[in-house]
Amino acid sequence: MGNRDQKDRDLDSARTSDDQSWLTTQQGVRVETTDDSLTAGTRGPTLLEDFHAREKLTHFDHERIPERVVHARGAGAYGYFRPYDSRLRDYTAAEFLTDPSVTTPVFVRFSTVAGSRGSADTVRDVRGFATKFYTKQGNYDLVGNNMPVFFIQDGIKFPDFVHAVKPEPASEIPQAQSAHDTFWDFIWLHPESLHMVMWLMSDRALPRSYRMMQGFGVHTFRLVTREGKGTFVKFHWRPLLGTHSLVWDEVQRLAGADPDFNRRDLWEAIEAGEHPEFELGVQLVDESRADELDIDLLDPTKIIPEEVVPVEPVGRMVLDRNPQNFFAETEQIAFHTANVVPGIDFTNDPLLQARNFSYLDTQLIRLGGPNFSQLPINRPIAEVHTNQRDGYGQHTIHTHPTSYASNSIGGGCPMTMAQSQPPDDVFRHYTQRVEGEAARMRPESFRDHYSQARLFWNSMKEVEQGHIADAFSFELSKVGSTTIREGVLEHIVRIDPGLASKVADKLGLPAPRPEGIELHDRASAALSQVPPLAGFDNTAPTAATRRVAAVVCDDVDDVGITALASALSDAGATLDLVGPREGWLRGSSGERITATHGLHSTPSAVYDAIVVPGGAVAGLIEPGGPAKHFLLEAFLHQKPIAAFGEAADLLRRLGMSSAETSHVPVTDEEGVIVTNREGRELPEDFISTFLDAVAHHRAWGRDTTHTTA
């Protein structure tokens, strides 16, 4: 843990505590009062010599830095990474990937892409997943997303794409949405975006939690040995809690009820000791095999299906500490795709090449100058020795007599390869032959824009395909131009005629004819989030960290609730009591229970499952009762629902269960578990069946058309 401890010390040296201390100026001068300006007389003008007032106001005027153009809204956490073993030693000189005895401190920033800092967490959007590894060989940044591809193939289009997805220039709306004309105009005219758009229209764009979200390096990189041998690599992060999403109606509710839903979830989980864990995996492709693939590895709009090249797990990351100051840490952290260490290098991916220029340029304007790497959150644990001097934000007091190379006055330091035998861990660029005519063109292998979009569609289960069709219908319904709508439909029909027909019907447009279109039936089970997954474990069924709500009121079956709460706690889940009011309630046993949340302020969308106990709860849920909408929403969102005692028959009357209740726990394919038993007689298999339903996230087979509104 030595490296991690060192990073903690670096950060601690920059922290201050204002407890029991005197207020001073930034020069350390104690201040008499900070409530009144220095004036000429009690009613006279303020004097220019009031240095404290001027300093205080000047700092306030400058305490906001420009927000990121993209990925503006984020949340961060500290943690550590450790490789499982040394299996990558034959592929890379990067010690943090090859030495299982080395624990590397990390900082991860999750984010949305399109919205401003004030937008909601749960919008339909790509999510950033950027990791800074503070390694002994220098800082390495894996700047990824929760989707493995991107909208464009060449970085020269990046300003165009971002301008298109940002709010309309005249009205500055919509915020944090792609459902408007300029975005879809771009998509219509740039079919290379279609694969990414399929991901964006899928449930992957609505993650349940940052803790339940995959991450991808997007580009093909290179691992390089000390001897200079290269291997192509794609990086994958896989959450140990499984990959899970919200549904569209939920995100609408959450955007209003809790716009900080994902940020709050991450923060509270870490504070509660429920540390998010992610497994790092790699897809390795020998350079001699690259031409055997049916994609171009330099094309960032393509994936390598895991059935073709498996993802090999190589290490684990744990996030175990929240930042202490959002601005100083989460906001000021500066990621850069070109921050690499010995053993990791680039490829000629044209989007990656542009990012390698753009990220550094961005930090210079955001953080005020070239010394942003000296900020505590960006400072490496490796020693830094450069000839770079001065500039905005210079924290280092340089005392060395020279700032140039080569030199004799300073003893030749800092030395380079030309002056001394370099150590084994010096960075050496991968050696390759490069030649060709200077021209603005792309290889022919980049021109296939439909086959992987269809691969993604074929890989989705029926319920996921329905969500994608609904998403296209919603987004395009916000587009005013019929020309753009029809242009997008002409692309969709080349992905799947059935999808195009469904979307066209919702828009009141004729479906394009699929004439002369060749469609393949290839699929990848690794892309779906709905089990069964044919050998792939994306969902990782577990009830750990899940939030369950029990609807309560006076005279509720508190004994049964206590038994269920204990079982949920043992499984790592939590049970909240949600009542008609917050505070003390009287249980049927005569004991007091506490409703921690009120039905008036807490939508069911914030929970993963609902329990309806016996007792007087039926009165809350009958027509006109305050809990009926709470329960109905959860049912429509396909969440597990359990009922026991008197409440069991209530679900059948509401059309939420077709099962006849009995003393034996009954469930069906719709994920509703009921029993007439209550209190101390609550069957163990009732509880275990409910826990299993919670672990599987949703009842995807539920028919939601027969409820009584």
* Catalytic member of 71, 244, 449, 696: 71
pLDDT digits (tens, 9 = 90+) for 322-331: 999 999 999 9
Sequence-distant (≥ 6) Cβ neighbours of residue 470 within 8 angstroms: 248
Segment 482-511 mean pLDDT: 98
Question: Does a cis peptide bond (omega within 30 degrees of 0) precede residue 406?
Answer: yes
Catalytic residue status for 145: yes
pLDDT digits (tens, 9 = 90+) for 188-217: 999 999 999 999 999 999 999 999 999 999
Residue 3 has pLDDT above 90, yes or no: no
Cβ neighbourhood burial of 574 (10 Å; 0-12, 13-18, 19+): middle
pLDDT digits (tens, 9 = 90+) for 251-283: 999 999 999 999 999 999 999 999 999 999 999
Among all chains, which residue has been given the structure tokens 């005279």?
555
* Catalytic member of 3, 139, 145, 322: 145
Whole-number mean pLDDT of the chain? Answer: 91
Q: How many CA atoms lie within 13 A of 380 on its CB side?
A: 16
pLDDT band at 704 (very low <50, low <70, confident <90, very high): confident
* Complete domains list, the chain, with CATH: 74-374 (2.40.180.10), 462-527 (1.20.1370.20), 547-695 (3.40.50.880)
How far is the C-alpha of 423 from the C-alpha of 449, rounded, in Å? 45
pLDDT digits (tens, 9 = 90+) for 587-634: 999 999 999 999 999 999 999 999 999 988 877 887 677 788 999 999
pLDDT number for residue 669: 53
Segment 9-33 mean pLDDT: 72
pLDDT band at 16 (very low <50, low <70, confident <90, very high): low
pLDDT number for residue 660: 60
pLDDT digits (tens, 9 = 90+) for 652-692: 888 887 666 554 455 555 789 999 898 888 999 999 999 99
Token digits for 609?
């499952």
Among all chains, which residue has been given the structure tokens 């296209």?
472
pLDDT number for residue 556: 95
Residue 249 has pLDDT above 70, yes or no: yes
Q: What is the DSSP letter of 330?
A: I
Q: Would you say 517 and 497 are in contact if contact means Cβ atoms under 8 Å apart? A: yes
For 413-444, give the DSSP string. PSP-TTTSPPPTT---PPP--------S---G
